[in-house]
Structure 1
Amino acid sequence: MTSRELPRHYHVWDAHDYRMVVAGCLEGLSDEQIAVRAGRTVAALRDRGGYFVDPVPGNTCAAWSRLREELTLNPEYDWEATVRRRHAAEQLPYWDEAGDALLRRTWEQSAPTAGPGRWLRGRGRRESRTRMADLEEDLGIHEFEIAKRLRYLKLAQNIVEVAERLGARDDGVLAARARMLSDRLAVTLWLLIVTDESGGVLSCSLHPTQDAAVTAKDAAAQKFRKHPLAVWTICGRSVGDGVIGDESLTGDFDTGVAPVVNLDELDFG
């Protein structure tokens, strides 16, 4: 199945996903119907059963069946307590509406630093507490996971922007990754790829900056509107990347919103 048919495939499970699954069970939907609603495979859905109830070692399907039985007998079953416990045990962040709201507020209230130099040098922020440190304490979630969530929520474009805006521990993973990405962005070129509904490439062009790629996308909008399911993807690449990597922007020419395109699945033939 394509990313359009499984829009949540490989995405981190958050509170919204879990509630969607529970609601489907309570409505009496089949596994297949719940999977479609959740945007995931049936196998992924059943594998997740062990997060809702205490898992049966080596038998994830048994946990899924127990979840259905539990919700049938007790619709008020506190599944979220079990989910939170499992996430904590596996050191996985549990993102809910309150956590996302805090990220949005903090991001809106923050402002970029004068430039990346302060945190890139690993100096200048030791004497003052950063907004990122406050978020780590309030959420109980590691700074790098917070940075990834900010990207997922489309608040931050990349981790360099997160470090510049919220700060990062001098010796932490976020600062190290941001330094590497900052160097990489200095030599990055940008691809604008337009694909049809089957993943076939309609157009591919190279641009010196992301803004230039966006301008080219806007200029090409009229040309590709005759393809109602055409999707554009703008991604940064540097030498050695090949065609595999995280997409920066993706959308369609009407709404501007579309599922992420997996560049590894594109047909360049």
Structure 2
Amino acid sequence: MTEVLPPRHNRPWIHEDYDRTFEALRQGLSDDDIADHVGRKKSAVARRLRDLIRHVSEHQRPPFRAKALESFRGILEEDPGFPWEEKARDFHRSTGRPWWVPGAEDILRTAWESGDQTMHELTRTLCVREDHIADWMVRTGSASNTIEVVERLGCLPGGRLEANARIARDKASMLIWVLILTEQRIGVVHTSLHHDKESASHELDSLLPPDDAPLNYRSPHRWMIAERIVGEGHIRSTKSGSFFPQADPE
């Protein structure tokens, strides 16, 4: 069964996330209800609060992640006016994370959909680096990669984002998809290289026995489609699966 991920899963933490978190803590919501209110997994909320406690209390050993929400309840009980925004902004700055001001997501989403603002204009409006904006676009699914961000919004000549896009283009030109098919009795029966995932998947479909083939032609197979660049090893995506024939109904 496929896990249903919360709406803000893997998205960058923004001002509104912290606001909802501390609002829920002050309301006395349970850990699960806080996670629902923020739109993230409970473990993700606890991890971020644990990091924040570590930053706020430099000389105090941070709690275990499972106790992070309870620890912050104690902090808010002792100091109801705890300046979470100031502390969160300072935490982001000290750890190299961008601080997304209120409404930043709407600004970024509108800019991407309309194409009316350049990357330079966005960096000045939001006071964050262009590579942080590109990362937001990719992580939220607006863009599929850094190359697409640069082509749509532009970048600073000679800057970090331009360099990242250039490296990404070089790698994309060397990207291949490897299809390997093995049969249970005799091992590897097919290996091929493809220029994209779709052609590798099409080739796989043509190799697997059809559903109406005689049972003796439908032996168990295992397959793998791997995204690779020469010299990178196994750091890219790999998809695998199995084909197990079913006996014909009598």
The normalised TM-score by structure 2 is 0.61
> CA offset at residue 161 of structure 1?
1.0
Q: Whole-Å Cα distance in 1 between the matches of residues 147 and 134 of structure 2? A: 9
Match of residue 59, structure 1, among 58, 61, 64: 61
Q: Which amino acid aligns with 1:67?
A: F
Matches of 1:206 and 1:19, distance apart in 2: 49
Measured at CA, do residues 99 and 43 of structure 1 come closer, stay the same or move farther in structure 2, by a change above 3 Å?
Answer: closer
- Bigger mean CA offset, 3-12 vs 140-149: 3-12
Tell me which of 154, 157, 162 is aligned to 2:144.
157
- Give the letter for the 1:134 counterpart: E
Q: Does 2:92 align with 1:87?
A: yes
Q: Answer with 1 or 2: which has the greater Rg.
A: 2
Identify if the C-alpha distance between structure 1 residues 179 and 192 changes in structure 2 by more than 3 Å, giving closer, same or farther.
same
Indicate whether 1:239 and 2:230 are aligned. Answer: yes
State the Cα distance separating 1:50 from its structure 2 match: 2.2
CA deviation vs aligned residue, 1:107-147 (integer Å, no higher than 9, x gap): 12228xxxxxxxxxxxxxxxxxx811111111111111110
Does 1:22 pair with 2:2?
no
Shift, 1:30, TM fit: 5.4
Q: What is the aligned-residue identity percentage? A: 30
Aligned pair in 2 of structure 1 residues 71, 218: CA closer, same or farther (>3 Å)?
A: farther
CA 1:35–1:153 in structure 2 vs 1: closer, same or farther (change >3 Å)? closer
Which of 31, 40, 63 is the matching residue for 2:43? 40
CA contact 2:52–2:91 (8 Å) conserved in 1 = no
Distance change >3 Å, CA 133–CA 153, structure 1 → 2: same
Superposed CA RMSD in Å reads 4.7
Using the TM superposition, give the Cα deviation of residue 42 of structure 1 relative to its aligned residue in structure 2, in angstroms: 8.1
Unaligned residue ranges in structure 2 (runs of 5+)? 181-190, 212-224, 243-250
What do the CA deviations read for 1:13-58 (whole angstroms, capped 9, x no partner)? 334543454355335455577579534268625523427x832424
Q: Distance in 1 between matches of 2:75 and 2:94?
A: 22
Scaled by the length of structure 1, what TM-score is found? Answer: 0.57
Q: CA–CA distance in 2 between the matches of 1:78 and 1:218?
A: 58
Specify whether residues 141 and 42 from structure 1 end up closer, same or farther in structure 2 by C-alpha distance, changes over 3 A only: closer
Q: Distance in 1 between matches of 2:201 and 2:101?
A: 32
Equivalenced residues, count: 209
